[in-house]
Amino acid sequence: MNFRKSKGGKKALVTLDITALVDVVFLLLIFLLVTTTFKRDEHAFVIDLVSSSGEQVTITSDKTTVYIDTEGDLYLLTAQSTATPSDPARGESVSFEELKSRLEVLRERRPDESVAIRGAKTANYQRVVDVVNVLESVGFRDVSFAYEQNAD
């Protein structure tokens, strides 16, 4: 850049070449887009969860999840790693008997599998306890409950 006065008495225009700066910004943008992992939709059903002031536990989509909606209907969503061609119906409504039989098959294939329970806030508490009893009778020990953290 030339800051000296020109011979004609006029000030010289000072220009700043920002081409390299724009290139760097585009490279950073591309880098961030390529390296960012986007949050996958982990909820198969819209359920209004109970809330707690404790530490929030994140339920990922790699767990087998039992959903209990407001009417008390049960839905079993198996993790992708446990799905087989003979069991393509993931996330469909199941009865207690069917839930127990599917969980027994899952327990035989993957004894260390963890199971999450997502119960609606207004779900019947007895229904949640019944699901916990089924999980316990099948032999699952790693059971977690999903909830929303209070905004306090």
Whether residue 134 is contained in a domain is answered as yes
Place of tokens 């390296």: 35
**Burial class of residue 85, CB neighbours in 10 A (0-12, 13-18, 19+):** exposed
For β-strands 143-145 and 92-94, DSSP reports them as unpaired
Whether residue 61 is contained in a domain is answered as yes
In the chain, the number of structural domains is: 1
Place of tokens 């999980």: 135
pLDDT tens digits along 56-72: 544 445 678 888 888 88
Whether residue 143 is contained in a domain is answered as yes
pLDDT tens digits along 83-128: 443 443 446 788 889 999 999 998 898 888 888 888 888 888 888 8
- Residue-number span of the structural domain to which 81 is assigned: 51-149
Whether residue 142 is contained in a domain is answered as yes
pLDDT tens digits along 17-56: 888 899 999 999 999 888 887 665 555 556 666 665 555 5
Q: Which pLDDT score is estimated for 35? A: 86
Whether residue 57 is contained in a domain is answered as yes
Whether residue 8 is contained in a domain is answered as no
Q: Which pLDDT score is estimated for 25? A: 94
Whether residue 43 is contained in a domain is answered as no
Q: What is the CATH number of the domain that holds 65?
A: 3.30.420.270
